[in-house]
Amino acid sequence: MRTLQVDLGERSYPIYIGGGLLEKAGDFFEQHQQSTKSPVLIVTDDHVAPKYLPVVETSLQAKGYRTVSKVVKAGEKSKSLDVYEEVMTTAIEGGLDRRSAVVALGGGVVGDLAGFVAATYMRGVTFVQMPTTILAHDSSVGGKVAVNHRLAKNMIGAFHQPEMVLYDVDSLQSLPPRDVRAGLSEMIKHGLIWDAAFADWCREHTADLLALDPEALGYGLTQGCSIKSQVVSVDERENGLRAILNLGHTLGHAIEAIGGYGEFLHGEAISIGMAAAAKLAVNRGRDPQIYKQTVSILSGFGLPTAMPAHLNEQDVIGAMMHDKKFKEQTMVFILPLAIGRVEIVSDVTLDEVRQVIAELKEEGQHV
Amino acid sequence: MRTLQVDLGERSYPIYIGGGLLEKAGDFFEQHQQSTKSPVLIVTDDHVAPKYLPVVETSLQAKGYRTVSKVVKAGEKSKSLDVYEEVMTTAIEGGLDRRSAVVALGGGVVGDLAGFVAATYMRGVTFVQMPTTILAHDSSVGGKVAVNHRLAKNMIGAFHQPEMVLYDVDSLQSLPPRDVRAGLSEMIKHGLIWDAAFADWCREHTADLLALDPEALGYGLTQGCSIKSQVVSVDERENGLRAILNLGHTLGHAIEAIGGYGEFLHGEAISIGMAAAAKLAVNRGRDPQIYKQTVSILSGFGLPTAMPAHLNEQDVIGAMMHDKKFKEQTMVFILPLAIGRVEIVSDVTLDEVRQVIAELKEEGQHV
Ligand SMILES: NC(=O)c1ccc[n+]([C@@H]2O[C@H](COP(=O)([O-])OP(=O)(O)OC[C@H]3O[C@@H](n4cnc5c(N)ncnc54)[C@H](O)[C@@H]3O)[C@@H](O)[C@H]2O)c1
Ligand SMILES: NC(=O)c1ccc[n+]([C@@H]2O[C@H](COP(=O)([O-])OP(=O)(O)OC[C@H]3O[C@@H](n4cnc5c(N)ncnc54)[C@H](O)[C@@H]3O)[C@@H](O)[C@H]2O)c1
Ligand SMILES: [Zn+2]
Ligand SMILES: [Zn+2]
């Protein structure tokens, strides 16, 4: 087992990464001195529940915890205020009190949803993450929790750091291949923004990672969490540096929103977004290699890098307007300077974005 | 104008109390260096809007701010997730960004609702309170914001301190008498828990306060805010001392909940709750004078102190079970030791509560 400490002063917490951790959930709760007098709410989804919910329930109950579980429908649509309200109902009916813990057992969707419940139930209770997707290595660091508004993604949320993260890599073996790829997209992102050597390592271990080789996964997830944690420690509430984590996200979120949060997975959408950011950088005079290398590593993982032909340019621009990164009338983008280094620019014009969208549609036609 | 600084480290903020402040809203925004590039959302209700919304809009616009307004229905029922979602929609459609401010123009309902929006819109934006009720002197200190769940009050919320509070006492002149009384109930509470001299002052100035005498109001509100602010400065997130502010609230919230948040005003419900707490203290052996004095000061203001006959004991107990103060299977109550001093006890039994409910129903029959 690897332990990574996320360094946030009095809100610091450990991420435990290794095999067989879910069946030890009760031990970790005990170790973290969670009171057995207060019920624990486990939030999970209907893909994850049949596989892993009983293990966690049994482990917690064996240590004397009373558990209540809420199983939501799998998929981004569960990150809604309606489902949030349902989870709140379960929490209240289950008798959760101010010393209770809310557990997110699942991917980023369940993590963000359960995290927002934990942040706001009785104005905030203990939050424990048990990620079961690769993508969730990203959402398990940094304390951002949220649900979507019909008009824009992650619009309603909070900062709420977990008490601990139990990352059981065994659970990743059952992930569908499409979610494996989408999750690796954020891992690659961490290389692209911060660590060229890690980006190289990802490229070299493409096959191992796609095959869910435990050793490669363990290293890649630890490295990904560690990079994110370094960034977040410097800037917990995104006043500056933290924005670099949004590489590919300005456009990515727009693509997700117009697909109704169903057509594209988050990791797929940001893969296109990262390709677009690289193209935009090149259009501004950066080395054309940046775009070629970005596309090469992402497409090596089977991730999309062209703009789907059926997406309407005006819809994409419209959805970006609602995005948080569109602040004070100027459009903020994270652009690569080289592999492993990015800059935050705030003067991107609509014309530049239109041009990149057109160019990335072109790319799609060559394939 | 009186200025009171609420002392919370880097989250400290001023409360400005005086006449004619709403028409100077724009000046205060400017003074607090709120950017004019980001739109401002004003949340208010349909009783307050016709009277005071244009003044605030005009004042902000004169200083170059773009404003969007959301007028909700007056009353506790607007503290719901549904209305919260509507306000979020207005915020998104109005183009609010991370540097925007959300203004609560109204009483505690609008304050709690708009505050929860400010706490969670894009994971938190600037919050400005412009209280227009007496009760809101309480909600404008301490940063508690929330909406209700159908099963229990204030169950969904956050801690989010305002940037400033503009308390225009002129606006209180239009308050309906029932809301004047209900608001004074929290002012009296601040005397009862912390400051016997202030409780005396309230009793001596009953007539002035009920007549909305500006000098008495200005002093009473400043004193009430100041007491709350002293308590909150010691314990911002209610780990200990802050709980004393809940005098009367354990039972009060239950009374509100079973009335469907419509029958009793918050201040009325906690007035009954404060009488009940005093009775409970006496039943536990405290000086019977405590109960007599509590009832005397509250009823002097025309506030209810008996348990309404039609409220079913089992319903009251059931609603209390959902309350946040019912933690780890024991029931926490704030009980008076004397006028101006309270203790937090956590071993109150259901039988004691039943007995007090019965006794307070009795009281009702003598009237
Ligand atoms: N909070 C943050 O900092 C942050 C960071 C990145 C992403 N996110 C959010 O995360 C979400 C995406 O996360 P995700 O990709 O994990 O999505 P997800 O939670 O929807 O999981 C993807 C799919 O895999 C299934 N699944 C999960 N674990 C499984 C397992 N072990 N075996 C089989 N199937 C399994 C799920 O049921 C789902 O169908 C987005 O909503 C995104 O906004 C948040
Ligand atoms: N956050 C906190 O710390 C805190 C503390 C105490 C109470 N509260 C909450 O505050 C709420 C009660 O506050 P409230 O009593 O102000 O209720 P309110 O906001 O409903 O206002 C009472 C009534 O007066 C009307 N009104 C407001 N200002 C007016 C004016 N100047 N002239 C004429 N009419 C006016 C309103 O439209 C409403 O009908 C409850 O929801 C309670 O839970 C919160
Ligand atoms: Zn992401
Ligand atoms: Zn109150």
SS3 B147: strand
**A93 neighbourhood in chain B, CB within 8 Å:** 151
Q: Is the pLDDT score of A118 beyond 80?
A: yes
Query: Taking CA A92 as the corner, what is the angle to CA A86 and CA A97, rounded to the nearest 5 degrees?
Result: 135
Indicate whether B231 and B360 sit together in one domain: yes
Angle between helices A81-93 and B81-93 (to 10 degrees): 150
Q: Is the pLDDT score of B44 beyond 70?
A: yes
Indicate whether A217 and A361 sit together in one domain: yes
Indicate whether A96 and A204 sit together in one domain: no
pLDDT (tens digit per residue) in B73-118:
999 899 999 999 999 999 999 999 999 999 999 999 999 999 999 9
Q: Is the pLDDT score of A92 beyond 80?
A: yes
Indicate whether A188 and A145 sit together in one domain: no
The residue behind tokens 């991420």 is A15
How far does the centroid of ligand 4 lie from the alpha carbon of residue B249, in Å?
A: 7
Under an 8 A CB cutoff, do B157 and A97 touch? no
A149 CA: distance to closest CA in chain B (Å): 8
Q: How many CB pairs under 8 A join A and B?
A: 94
Q: Do the annotations mark residue B111 as ligand-binding?
A: yes
Domain count, chain A: 2
Closest CA to A129 of A190, A243, A117: A117
By CB atoms closer than 10 A (0-12, 13-18, 19+), residue A3 is exposed
Distance between the two ends of chain B, CA-based, in angstroms? 42
Residue of B nearest to A331 (CA): B97
Under an 8 A CB cutoff, do B120 and A156 touch? yes
Q: For residues B129 and B225, give the distance between their C-alpha atoms in angstroms, rounded to a whole number.
A: 13
Q: Is the pLDDT score of B303 beyond 80?
A: yes
pLDDT (tens digit per residue) in A53-74:
999 999 999 999 999 999 999 9
Nearest to B92 among A81, A322, A327 (CB): A322
SS3 B146: strand
Residue nearest to atom 15 of ligand 1 (CA): A135
Residue nearest to atom 5 of ligand 2 (CA): B139
Strand partners, A331: A326, A348
Give every CB contact of residue A33 below 8 A, 6+ residues apart in sequence. Answer: none
Indicate whether A37 and A161 sit together in one domain: yes
Render A286-307 in DSSP notation, one character per residue.
--THHHHHHHHHHHHTT---S-
Tell me whether B351 touches chain A (CB under 8 Å): no
Please compute the mean of the pLDDT values over residues A137-141 and round it to a whole number. Answer: 94
Tell me whether A299 touches chain B (CB under 8 Å): no
Closest CA to B117 of B64, B55, B42, B49: B42
Judge contact between B166 and B16, C-beta under 8 A.
Answer: yes
Q: For residues A360 and A291, give the distance between their C-alpha atoms in angstroms, rounded to a whole number.
A: 11
CATH code for position B314: 1.20.1090.10
Out of B132, B150, B174, pick the residue that ends a domain: B174
Around ligand 1, the residues with Cβ closer than 6 Å are A 45, 47-48, 74-76, 79, 106-110, 112, 132-133, 135-136, 138-139, 142, 144, 154, 171-172, 174-176, 179, 182-183, 186, 266
Give every CB contact of residue B237 below 8 A, 6+ residues apart in sequence. Answer: A124, B159
Give every CB contact of residue B366 below 8 A, 6+ residues apart in sequence. Answer: none
Indicate whether A289 and A314 sit together in one domain: yes
pTM of the model: 0.92
- For residue B320, give its domain range: 177-365
Tell me, what amino acid is at B140? Answer: S
What local confidence, expressed as pLDDT, does residue A326 receive? Answer: 56
Closest CA to B37 of B100, B92, B94: B100
Out of A174, A208, A241, pick the residue that ends a domain: A174
CATH code for position B51: 3.40.50.1970
Kindly give the pairing relationship between strand B126-131 and strand B101-106.
parallel
Residue nearest to atom 13 of ligand 2 (CA): B108
Strand partners, A345: A333
Under an 8 A CB cutoff, do A326 and B146 touch? no
